């Protein structure tokens, strides 16, 4: 029998993707049904309901967008922003930077509030920018995968709400690994990805929009510049049109949605609190195990992101070239870890313990391999 070309087995401990749960792989390989088949629409509804619980929202418009996390980012920004609108963006790393680029391309005027890589945004500085600019939207990243910082949300979201601005939050690396309460925090538009703490493959972007967002989009002076990402059109498929019937918008990636449904069932079977605690425990175990080898945490404990730990490399590894060591971990031990980005390239590693991989066994495998490489 023909089998697809085999790829080498990998333990994926980089910034994403993470390894896919075997039950998700099985779900992905189910025979196809149509994207308007009632049996598939029932799964789609189940996915939306489970995503609402995981995001902590009652937003009707909560769905798996048919594209990766970057499209989730783009969907949030292009629906809210019209040409000439002001937006305040918190920039604490690469993904805050990407938000600025997307908003600029949408014709918005971007006010950036930056912080040093490895630190959280200064909430007072963001609040000051909001009060000065009176923006249409305030956008920032909850879990900055380029630095390993978990940004506190509530103070910035409150300042935005008080100024009448929409709040956009990137939860790509926090969904299913960190507890989320987006309604309580006052977030209007949120996006994530499937390839991190959900242990599904990349390809879908769970998103959620408040009714306020939908009302705003329906009242806009100009149509949303992206037809594919226009939430008023997406709503007609995911929620149904005026008569409740689903209106074709695009062919949903059926298999990917079946995989996500299984991934979400697994999350709920474990329970989100237990899952969040498992991510915390794994990250702590990693830092304890790495400390004797001279790796130090980049980020202060108060704002450390458990699913993605960033460590400063010992001088001898930096001098010898960290990329060669990562290549050896991959080739000889089948373990992927991530290097630093931008200013942090060459001086840090980004180690993901996400979803199924957030376990002591992952830490032990990495440590064993690292010790052998450093002794060689």
Binding site for ligand PLP (CB under 6 A): 15-16, 68-70, 73, 95, 141, 143, 145, 170, 172-173, 193, 202
Of the chain, the end-to-end C-alpha distance in Å amounts to 42
Q: 85 and 216 in contact (C-beta within 8 Å)?
A: no
Look up residue 106 and give its two tokens: 């949408």
Nearest CB to ligand PLP, comparing residues 143 and 231: 143
Nearest CB to ligand PLP, comparing residues 17 and 317: 17
Q: Which of 36, 32, 56 is nearest to 236 (CA)?
A: 36
Nearest CB to ligand PLP, comparing residues 186 and 193: 193
Which residue blocks in the chain are alpha helix, DSSP H? 22-28, 38-55, 69-80, 94-105, 123-133, 154-162, 182-185, 211-219, 231-238, 254-270, 272-290, 315-320, 322-333, 360-375
CB of 192 to ligand PLP, least distance (A): 9
Bridge partner residues of 208 (DSSP): 62, 190
Nearest CB to ligand PLP, comparing residues 68 and 155: 68
Q: 362 and 307 in contact (C-beta within 8 Å)?
A: no
CB of 168 to ligand PLP, least distance (A): 12
CB of 372 to ligand PLP, least distance (A): 29
CB of 18 to ligand PLP, least distance (A): 11
Separation of CA 53 from chain center: 16
Nearest CB to ligand PLP, comparing residues 98 and 136: 98
Rounded Cα gap, residues 263 and 69, in angstroms:
17
Which residue lies nearest ligand PLP, judged by its C-beta? 69
Neighbours of 36 (CB within 10 A): 14
CB of 317 to ligand PLP, least distance (A): 24
Nearest CB to ligand PLP, comparing residues 143 and 286: 143
CB of 208 to ligand PLP, least distance (A): 15
Nearest CB to ligand PLP, comparing residues 338 and 369: 338
Task: Assign 305 to helix, strand or coil.
Answer: coil
CB of 16 to ligand PLP, least distance (A): 5
Look up residue 260 and give its two tokens: 């996500």
């Amino acid at each position: 029998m023909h089998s697809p070309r085999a790829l080498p087995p990998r333990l994926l401990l980089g910034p994403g993707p993470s390894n896919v749960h075997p039950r998700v792989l099985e779900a992905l390989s189910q025979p196809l049904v149509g994207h308007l088949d009632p049996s598939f629409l029932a799964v789609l509804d189940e996915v939306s309901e489970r995503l609402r619980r995981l995001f902590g929202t009652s937003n009707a418009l909560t769905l798996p967008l048919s594209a990766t996390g970057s499209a989730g980012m783009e969907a949030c920004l292009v629906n809210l922003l019209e040409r000439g609108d002001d937006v305040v963006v918190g920039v604490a790393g690469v993904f805050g930077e990407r938000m600025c680029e997307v908003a600029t391309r949408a014709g918005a005027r971007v006010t950036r509030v930056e912080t040093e890589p490895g630190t959280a945004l200064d909430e007072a500085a963001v609040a000051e920018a909001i009060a000065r600019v009176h923006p249409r939207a305030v956008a920032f990243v909850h879990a900055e995968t380029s630095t390993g910082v978990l940004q506190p949300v509530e103070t910035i979201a409150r300042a935005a709400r008080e100024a009448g601005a929409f709040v956009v939050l990137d939860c790509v690396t926090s969904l299913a690994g960190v507890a989320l309460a987006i309604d309580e925090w006052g977030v209007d538009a949120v996006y994530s990805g499937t390839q991190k703490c959900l242990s599904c493959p990349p390809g879908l972007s769970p998103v959620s929009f408040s009714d306020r967002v939908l009302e705003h989009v329906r009242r806009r002076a100009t149509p949303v510049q992206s037809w594919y990402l226009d939430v008023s059109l997406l709503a007609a498929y995911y929620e149904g049109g005026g008569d409740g019937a689903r209106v074709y918008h695009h062919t949903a990636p059926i298999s990917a949605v079946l995989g996500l449904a299984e991934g979400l069932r697994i999350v709920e079977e474990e329970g989100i609190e237990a899952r969040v605690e498992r991510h915390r425990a794994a990250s702590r175990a990693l830092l304890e195990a790495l400390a004797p080898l001279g790796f130090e945490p980049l980020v202060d404990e108060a704002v450390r992101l458990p699913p993605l730990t960033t460590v400063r490399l010992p001088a001898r590894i930096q001098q010898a070239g960290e990329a060669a060591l990562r290549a050896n971990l991959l080739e000889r031990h089948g373990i992927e870890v991530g290097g630093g980005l931008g200013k942090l390239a060459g001086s840090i590693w980004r180690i993901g313990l996400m979803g199924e991989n957030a376990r002591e066994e992952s830490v032990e495998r990495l440590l064993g391999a690292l010790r052998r490489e450093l002794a060689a």
